[in-house]
Structure 1
Amino acid sequence: MLTDKFSEVEGPHLEIPIPILHDLIISSVTEHGDKVAMVCKHQPVDLFPAVNGYNSSGINAAERTLYLKWTHSQLQYGADLLAHALMKKGLSPGATIAALLSGRVEFHMLLRAAVRMKCPFTPLNLRAPQNGKEIRHMLTLSGASAVIVEDGSIAERLEQTAPDLMRDMQVKAVAGPMSTINSYVSLNDLVSSAAEDETFEDTQRALDKLPRHVDDVVFIWFTSGTTALPKAAPHTNKSLTCNIRSWGEAFKLDSSRKWLQILPMNSIVGSSWTLAYLIPGGSVTHVNYNFDVPSIAKAIQSGEYTDVLAVPSMIDLLSSSPLLSEHSVGGVDHVIVGGSKILRSHVEKAFLFLKCTRFSPFFGMTEGTSVCSETLDCVPASLDDPIYAGYANPGSKIRICAPDGIEPLPRGIPGEIVQGGLQKIESYLGGQGKDNFFTADGETWYRCGDQATMLANGRIAIVGRYKDMIIRGGMNIASAAVEAAISESTGIDSQVIGIPDEIAGEVPVAVVKHLEDRDAAINIQRCVLEKMGPAYAIEEVISLDELGIEDWPKTSSGKVLKRDLRLMVQSLLQSTSPDQTKRLRNGQYPRHEFLLDGSQLRKRLLRLVQQQGILVSSIDDDFHSAGMDSLIALRLRNAIAQDPGLDLHITLSVEEIFEYGTVQRLAARLMSSCRGNQSSAAASSVPETMIDEMASMVEEYGEFRLHRGSEDVCSRGETVLLTGATGSLGAHILALLIERDDVAVIYCTVRGQDAAKRLKESLSRRFLMPRNFAEKVKVITSKAGNLWLGWESATRETLLDSLTLIIHAAWPVNFHLPLASFRPHFNDLQRLIQLSLDVRLLHPARVMFCSSMGVALSTRGQKRIAEEPIMDFRQGMSNGYTQSKLVAEYIVQRAAEDFGALACNLRIGQIVGDTKHGLWNQGEAVPLMIRSALSIGSLPCLDMKCSWIPVDTLAKAIVEIATMPKFQQPQRLIYNMCSRFSFSWATDLLPALAGAGLKFETVTFAQWIASLKNYSTTQGVETASLHCPAIKLIDFWEKSYGSKEQRHDGGLEFDTRKAQAASRSMATAPDVIKSGLIKVMLNVWMKDWGGTPPMANGTLARSKTVNGDI
């Protein structure tokens, strides 16, 4: 019944016969083997040495040293090696492989290995293991026999949520940082072992002989269903290759196309379209593991890429990047957008900011991606027309039917879009969703659940949704899944619907029968956020009372009419929303007038923030910790700009929303802007001049020359440059390096006279003097700001030809120094990083910078510090020392990200004495505080958590990370280096000290400070300083702990999972309290501190009474 009167159409004819996916890939490699296929700019070039050296003639020699870049032949060879290794581990051909991986080369290797082995490939969301019920359902329904995960943290979550399923897996492997769970193997180790296996060719011949058929399942994708559990969409050779061919013909994909891949890999477009670009000989590039606006914007600015696929919200986020507002943007040729409603503004932004010459809206689903599309070469002239989904793609069949109907409606009448043709699946796995499919004229059709109209010329416009599905930023959200989460957590029945949103497309709103108060609504929002993540965040909680009804609108059979409910909610929200119009006065916006005072502004901002689904309850709560993601930040930015009560007429950037991060800071930023910065000093709790100074230092010391290595220069063993070797940590690191067989020589920079003698004495007094010190250690005399003092030119030349590792552990620990005093040390850091880049070896020398956890101790409104860069200078503003460490971290980050340095920040916590002798520098702050008990008879009760790590344990961990094989994991920028065990100062440490024999009274911090001051007064400064050096740090104590007894970083935790995965010593670090180390250290101190010093009046007797010794 194909006529131009009814809403039924077929796309251009798709070539038959249908190829097998495996054969299509192999023939493509044969034809395009030497062309570039895969570029991963965030992964090291030698991640897989065996693959990197295989048939790389198609890669320019200069480019091989920058990042991972493979030809089609190399990519397939890596996949073949992986397939061989998986079979050697016991995985049978035809067994399902589940992958929880981000945008990285391992995903593409595994995909092709699965196709080679005839194994259905199942990509899953990295967040999936957080929901035990869903991950069990998906692994069971897909029948997964192997699971390959991103890193150790995901492996651990899987073992917790599905231990029985994990025990039955034939293969469990980790692509990134290794798991401490012994049953997981390294993906890199698998590939390396396969490259050396003599039976590799036998395996390939066996795989060549596997029977393959058009109806074999090759992919299983999961789509959010209208039930609480995802549905499994199995794609066969037939459906998948037809999708690939259809898109290839629709967009004329060939070997000249360079796709910048920014989509999640678990989505059908993110994973299957890689084949659509690669099979014709094109290339695929990742610039980050996940969607990251700065790195993607930088790639678009470069003009290197021809195509980018995105969901509409990504266009909004990218267009807000300052990089894409510059005149020098190279842009991309073709922007392809789908996944949710496309607005005219998205088309305008793509042409204006992404500098595209073609914009293609498309419509597709997990059940069949290639439905319809069209290509625009400019923004549509008419403001009245929607952005159409286009015309039927090659091989596609489309009908517009009445809901639950099978016959096409007349053209122009809205109805449900129904897909036929070869590209769609025939059914879901496990008998789910049978009502979604029907048979007509001997062919299976799939009901998409979307409302659409078909014009007389066959052009299709998507109108809305029929299904109870919400599409937020291109992500499908099942209403029933959110309703189930609310019911399980709160016991409240709800109906979750989607309402239109300018930025996200749709956002979820929960409707409940009764709502007692605002706290009940917040509890509902919080439970969804905690159980399902920010993408599912509830926009509003509305009661039936507010809608003016007593019960849900229902059909005669009792089914809730969500479409009617949605219309009622939209009407309510529109009637209560403020007028968004802007008011001009005398042709200008009244910038100079700001009608709200500080308190009113903070109150209004708090309400705006909460309305966006950011669950903060005070002006100091951190947005990111409360669930803000990029989409929510963008919507908050717009809400602030459009709020008539604020009437600001300024537009913040998304980066600023993240940067300021709390209502308090955001209010200060807005007030300073609207008042011409006159009140900025009063409004902001952090001096902006200090932030400017820190930023300028990063600029000054963050410039480097790029690495220009040579394949002709090779290093035999590790050549290490170590700074700070006379300190406690440096001495332990040096002793470990000397004992390693793979370390050839260690150059130690030592300041002052008799450098070699001082170094030996440092090792000796710590009982660390190795026998082969003279054979491996070379001492270089230096001074701060001039590490090259005393360096012979021959020494420098030797280093340029052999240096492989720099460990920079020299930094003055002085809390009284201002930031400017650290300039010589920034200069040292800059020169060390430049030395690492100047080496003539194929790769830069690795740089390990010993930073400090002090860079984050001023963080407010956030409980957990991730192993990621610090986003705000304000987080490290405690003193000049912490400011200097944060500036240094930024310099290292800039060197790594912008200049290709292999540099890493080791964010070190409180170091204590070694586990054997208990030697802890008595001049450090904590030992000085403890020593004060001998003089004033008391110690302060501080409400804080401690994560202390013994110095020998830390040194082992640093050496393990520094000497880790390059292929074991991606280069990380940050490791948090503190103990995995935390303890309380008040309830754990003080009792441990008393148990070890120290006599003292526990007092408040204010009382302890008063006692220090009184002791200084009564004993005289010189005597007091001799016996109680803590008085020298009174200013430091007051700044660090004064008026903060109930809040000083008591809830601040440092995530160390990446460090534990990379270092066995980090994963097995001892518990300082339970191990008895406190007593060992105290005994050492007491021997050095000698007899009883002069006591403040009455304190000795009081301390004895407290400890029960009288």
Structure 2
Amino acid sequence: MSSAALTLPAAHAHDKPIYASSTTTTAPEESKDSDVLYTINDLLVHRARTAPDVPLVAYPASESGLTDYVQYTARMLDGFAEGAARAYLRLGLVPGDPFDAGERTVVALLAPSNIDYIATLFALQRLGFSVLLLSNRLSAHAIAALLTSTNCTTIITTPPFAPLLTAVQAAKPALRTFTIIPKHTYAAKQPQPRLTVHRSTPTEAAKVAFIVHSSGSTGLPKPIFQTHAACLFNYSSSFPLRGFITLPLYHNHGISSFMRAVFSRNVIAFFNPNLPLTGANLATAMEHTRPQIFYGVPYALKVLAETPRGVAVLRACRLVLFGGSSCPDELGDRLVAAGVNLVGHYGATETGQLMTSFRPAGDDAWNYVRVPKALEPYLLMDRVAGSDAYEVVVRDGWKAKVCSNADEPPNSFRTRDLFVKHATIEGAWKYLGRIDDRVTLVNGEKVLPIPIEGRVREHPLVRECVVFGIGKSVPGILLIPSEHAVGMSDDEIRDSVWPAVEDANTRAESFSQISKEMVGVVARGVDYPSTDKGTVIRAAFYKQFEPEISAIYAAFENTAEGTLVLDIPGLEAFLLSLFKETGVELESTTSDFFLAGVDSLRAISVWNKLKKTLSFNGNSGKLSQIVVFEQPNVQCLARYLYALRTGSEIDVVDDIEVMQRLVEKYSVFDPHVPGNAVVDGETVILTGTTGSLGAHVLAQILPLENVKRVYCLVRAPSPAEALARVHASLAQRSLQPPPAQLSKVTALPSDFSRADLGLDAATLTQLRNTLTAVVHSAWAVNFNMGVASFETHHIAGAHNFLQLCLSVRTPRPARFFFCSSISAAAGTPLPARIGETQVPELAHAQGMGYARSKLVTERIVGAAAGGVGVHARVLRIGQIVGDSRVGVWSGTEAIPLMIRSAVTLGVLPDLDETPSWMPVDTVAQAILELSGLSCPLPQDTPTTVYHVLNPRVFSWTHDLLPALRAAGLDFDVVRSASGCSGCVTATRTL
């Protein structure tokens, strides 16, 4: 038997809900040649011969019918195909030579998914054509492009599409059009003998059966060619259950679900495409057809779940299978809790079905698809650099894969679909979204819209919800109201939906959260760009609603100035109340905003409310969006706002004075009292292990035989969560120490601002008896924070670590190594050659709180080394890039974002810069050498500062840009008005 052929297995039945996959492929027993399937036509002929009176399709008899379903048997469908084929031949639709070894002639089909469509579909297969299945949503331009790319000159359609076809023919004047054959013609009794116009051979199995197409969400739709062999392999994963389908047949999920029902000899009922997809209509049709399996998109589940009646018809199904897009967690959880056997289906037009969330009874993780054994050799879950997300990649050899788009791995298909791992279930993956779906804000943060949209879309007043904000400082959402919102104003809709938005915010990162001012409502009943699955075409949506989105930002950013006039005490009381409204209750007017939990969303929201409420005497335009971070507390902010309104001199806090105060405050230590504790090897505290540098230091320190124990101090609620975060950080960077090495790790939740570092008494006692070194790399990389905001957790934290080193009961203090930054000296006046010494002036730090906090801590480390004899060292680190082995580099950093513009914008700047970059694993190696952990280092060396940076520099324009082009990036070079700031020429003088 040819490897391209497929043997049809016998159907079987289920009496209980399906919890584990019952998919079938080829039958193991030998079959007669007549049972071998080479083409789609073979499938129908075989069914008509072996089970002629088994119903395969149920379809309403009338144009607007919901309950008048008629069942069509395999014999009837075979007769319909025969009758329609003869009718098309009479009209002049004649196939090519049936014995020609070349490709089949392509005929396009543009019509609603009704019984006429099914008859024509099988008729064209019987005649030996390849069928181009055109979405009913396509524009004339998109149809013309698909006809051109598939060499198609013939289209079958219905009268309602005549105006569209007129526009297509303007671009394709040679296009032949045929009207779809009606039922009264193809259902008429046909003469014998049967029509035979082509032969079924192994050669035919390799020819194209269907041409489906992409949604066109990122441009014109692209054709996807599916051979008979690939289709039959895909359809053989069948469910032997009576079905109900809401999906159109011109969508791959729809045609596959239909053909799987034919394959398994089970009737499938079609929802009437002439009727709106409402919960009431669906429930009525399903109550009449009593399906065992439901095929649909999440929107169909949403409208059914809005009423007890709808939930009841879903619960009555043995299997509810959704696909096409992700189902909101809240919706799925509610259905599963109500007893619905909900299963997700994931696949791609180019690869067929890949994974489902079939699971054992008692496993409620319906939203995690599982990798079947047969797929494992052909599936690669490829981690996306700088994230916990993985892209699904299908390797060469998977039979249902019909095309490739990547050479790594060779001849593979990269789906651009992102998934995350289940925390405990091996091989279980949750859909996160498309790579292209992420909304990148102006600061480089990436908002994942799917979870937010899914939660808000759950609200009965919402038909669709779309997150926007590309290139903006804050994200927003546009609501498409549902039919339940008729008669409501925009404000009423916004107020009603707001609790759902707030709930979505609780699960999103701070930069992804939506403020109420950024919730827009569009006109009821408006059409918007979407795929046949009902998924929004994001780029086209942004283009269509650009005026509405721009108006939301204009209203948010250009709010008319308020009228409230307050003195300084009044402003302080007003601000305390305002922050409380945002969810932050400040203890006093001097409480630091950042440490109190004021994130970027709250800061922007406060700024907006200040502008709308307070009078600034015409100066509101001077109020910076990050004023909350520029003024560290209510006391300072109130004085600033008062000065802005009155025109008085603004009391600017002198950062240099603040830095000097901090240096003096934290340079006082209790001296070390030598003890007689004897240590065996090295016991190390390591911070920052959830970041890139800390993770690489940990991965390199664990194999060292002299290192016996590594304490990783992490901001986490429990030891278990702390350890999980450390392991996740290692895995994210493809760092996988063996279990024997990981057993050296003790991960603990910690609070650096406390003198005891948030550790319990027993742990502190153990550390004081065994600690030999601290490598401190944890630091907030936040360029909005002022230097004062770094005091409590960071600067005081370094002091607390130094004091712990001095409190050990060993003869000498534990060693302390502080990972500083070249930005601590980047403000040195030019020309400058910065040696490995203390920076002489506090003003020589770069002009931002991050750099100034690093320099303050350098001074404190120097005071400890010179004053109380602790072996304390500063490791001043330059620009860290991805590691030298895998190249993982955080995609939110400035340089990766800039380079990515070569892909998104097609341009890169011409910079007059000579950077000095170092791979993160090389930096980690240097830290271990300079700390004496990986090689001996004299304890009494007078050097307290080391520069950890690449002594070699390169030209951005003359070296990097050509290298990027050589690597395959296509971009234009644009002239930059100015180069990057903060470049430092530093030397290493040993």
TM range (shorter): 0.3 to 0.5
Instruction: Pick the structure with more helix per residue.
Output: 1
Q: Which has the larger radius of gyration?
A: 2
Q: Normalising by structure 2, report the TM-score.
A: 0.41
